[in-house]
Amino acid sequence: AAFDVQAVCTGFVYAIGVADNFVRAGSARRALVVGAATLSRIIDWSDRSTCVLFGDGAGAVVLEASERPGIISTHLHADGAYESLLRVRAGISKGYKQVQAGEAFMEMKGNEVFRMAVTTLGRIVDETLAANRMQKSDIDWLIPHQANLRIIGAAAKKLSLPMERVVVTVAEHANTSSASIPLALDV
């Protein structure tokens, strides 16, 4: 099987969850999971609040069944109520002609996105640790979505992890949406 999972910045995490379930169920021996984004086509280059933050990128991993622990669990959530915080007003699929004409751009309310990301990440960290009967001290490394350094730092603080144990590549790659985690895995 081959298919696309569209979930913007969380696309790679959603795809890993799907692939992991295929492997665990025995429907696949291994799976190639690719995270890719070409945000440059929806960036308004005159908007300094967004154009300096985002980049294009791609990365991939291969998952396969193993006796060694790998993916322990995935916890996926979505809430469309916050759509106005980060969006492309025309929509990518509905507004394809506007995207092609350079008329559909990413819009972001940065401060609100920051607050929502930190709150949501904290809640998911607590949920994931509880579901796996783990403590913060059980975490050796954090490889987060590379949204921005402030959000990554807040996540590390929530986990009581020093930044030396957090993979940070946002300065090299920018926020590459669904490509950020697979790119960060190649450090």
Convert 47-61 to b/e letters by CB count within 10 Å (16 or more is b): eeebbebbbbbebeb
Q: Please name the residues in contact with 164: beta carbons below 8 A apart, sequence gap of 6 or more.
A: none
- As annotated, the active-site residues are 9, 145, 175
Give the residue, 1 or 96, on which the prediction is more confident: 1
pLDDT in tens, 87-130: 988 766 666 677 667 678 899 999 999 999 988 888 898 999 99
pLDDT of residue 96: 66
Quick: pLDDT tens for 23-77.
Answer: 999 999 999 999 999 999 888 999 998 999 999 999 999 999 998 888 999 999 9
- Its pTM stands at 0.89
Q: What share of the chain is helix, strand, coil (3-state, %, to 5)?
A: 45, 15, 40
Both tokens of 73, joined, read: 């669990």
